[in-house]
């Protein structure tokens, strides 16, 4: 009975967070539209860039990227780009609550930190669901794969969303207690995402930077996402490129990132409280 009551309470908290976040996000329609225009512009630029590269040299490839599959990989990258604002949303939410002086009420309320993580995350997924689905459907039409492959793709995307939400919650903790660290946190994330090779193959970098990329866990997550789709197109090539480290990193990050983020959030908040009013 207690478990059932707890589930109902947490569900109500999550739904309340979703409703509030959706209202705040959709207040300014132009900003909401602008948020999705940037990835579209980036996608078009990358299509022109790689189209010119592969057209200029027939049979040329960068890693396993070539003229026949780069459109697929860019569409997948496009879906990832849509989801990256999840990271920033927690920071924006907490800073906004601090500005309106309502943050202390949220933090004192008996809101489970996991419900905070999921509430903001789900609301962001609702916001990106339409453009995300459209691009995914286009990719499926142009590069059809089996249902099992497609389900695996969705599961990997779910893991990515959860990891992004967890990173956002950690950044949100510093937005509450130490806003001056947000700049450093954001700078580190930019370097991590740059060397994750979301929009391009690592082979586009000089060798020294390729060595940095292979040390980046996100490189393996996004690489596995591409290769899982490619399994349904060229199985022999894709399966040869998937290593145990791809799967281990994805599974560990999916399981540990929410736990670590909630732990760090509580640790930072309990130690420093709310600052910057």
Position 113 scores a pLDDT of 79
Of 245 and 42, more confident: 245
For residue 2, what pLDDT band results from cuts at 50, 70 and 90?
very low
- What residues pair up with 62 in beta bridges, in sequence order? 65
Q: Measure the CA–CA gap between 87 and 275, rounded to whole angstroms.
A: 21
Over residues 199-235, the pLDDT tens digits come to 889 998 888 899 999 999 999 999 999 999 999 999 9
Q: What is the pLDDT of residue 22?
A: 75
* 23 or 235, greater pLDDT: 235
110: pLDDT strictly greater than 60: no
Q: What would the pLDDT profile of 157-179 be if each residue is shown by its tens digit?
A: 999 999 999 999 999 888 888 88
Q: What is the mean pLDDT of residues 57-67?
A: 88
- Average the pLDDT over 88-96 and give the result: 86
What is the pLDDT confidence band of residue 242, given thresholds at 50, 70 and 90? very high
Cα of first residue to Cα of last residue in the chain, in angstroms, is: 41
Query: Considering just the CA atoms, what is the radius of gyration of the chain in Å?
Result: 20
Where does the pLDDT of residue 82 fall: very low under 50, low under 70, confident under 90, or very high at 90 and above? confident
Q: Could you give the CA distance from residue 247 to residue 241 in angstroms, rounded to a whole number?
A: 12
* pTM for the structure as a whole: 0.88
């Amino acid at each position: 009975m207690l478990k059932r009551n707890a589930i109902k309470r947490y569900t109500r908290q999550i739904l309340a967070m979703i409703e509030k976040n959706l209202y705040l996000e959709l207040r300014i329609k132009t900003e909401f539209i602008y948020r999705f225009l940037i990835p579209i512009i980036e996608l078009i630029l990358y299509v022109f860039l790689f189209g010119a590269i592969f057209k200029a040299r027939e049979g040329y490839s960068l890693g396993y990227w070539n003229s026949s599959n780069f459109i697929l990989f860019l569409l997948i990258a496009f879906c990832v780009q849509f989801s990256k604002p999840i990271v920033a949303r927690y920071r924006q939410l907490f800073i906004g609550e601090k500005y309106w002086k309502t943050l202390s009420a949220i933090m004192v309320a008996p809101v489970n930190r996991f419900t905070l993580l999921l509430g903001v995350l789900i609301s962001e997924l609702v916001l990106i669901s339409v453009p995300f689905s459209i691009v995914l459907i286009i990719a499926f039409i142009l590069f059809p794969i089996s249902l099992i492959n497609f389900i695996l793709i969705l599961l990997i995307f779910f893991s990515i969303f959860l990891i992004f939400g967890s990173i956002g919650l950690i950044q949100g903790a510093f937005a509450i207690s130490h806003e001056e660290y947000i700049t450093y946190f954001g700078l580190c994330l930019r370097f991590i995402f740059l060397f994750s090779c979301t929009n391009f193959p690592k082979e586009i970098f000089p060798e020294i930077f390729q060595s940095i990329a292979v040390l980046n866990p996100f490189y393996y997550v996004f690489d596995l996402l591409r290769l899982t789709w490619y399994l349904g197109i060229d199985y022999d090539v894709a399966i040869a490129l998937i290593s145990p480290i791809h799967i281990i990193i994805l599974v560990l990050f999916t399981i540990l990132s929410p736990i670590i983020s909630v732990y760090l959030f509580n640790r930072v908040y309990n130690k420093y409280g709310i600052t910057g009013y």
